[in-house]
Amino acid sequence: MLCFLDVLGVLVQRKVIGMDDVLPLAYEILRVYQNPEVGEYLQFLRGWYEHHQIPREPFHGFLKLAEKISREISRRKGALMRVWRGKETKR
């Protein structure tokens, strides 16, 4: 699962696919990203990579994608809330 999500992240970074292509999977991606066991596994891998002097972050594409989705959802949610509040105050 992490490998698949990592590939998606790399494809977004390289602009092969856009955020609109992956946003339908946002819920699933964020569920994996926010899962405590996944977090523990990634923390373990970071230590393992460091110990073996591997000069990159494990599943970097996935992590950047999840962070980007979080920001995009917050941005869109904020815009929707501003629209909603504007309509509410006009009543």
Is 91 within a domain? no
Is 73 within a domain? yes
- Which domain covers residue 50, as residue numbers? 2-78
* Residue 27 contacts residue 10 (beta carbons within 8 Å): no
pLDDT tier, 75 (very low <50, low <70, confident <90, very high otherwise): confident
Is 85 within a domain? no
Is 88 within a domain? no
First-to-last CA distance in the chain?
47
What's the pTM value of the predicted model, to 2 decimals? 0.81
* Residue 35 backbone class (left: φ over 0; alpha: ψ -120 to 50; beta: rest): beta
pLDDT of residue 89: 47
What is the count of structural domains for the chain? Answer: 1
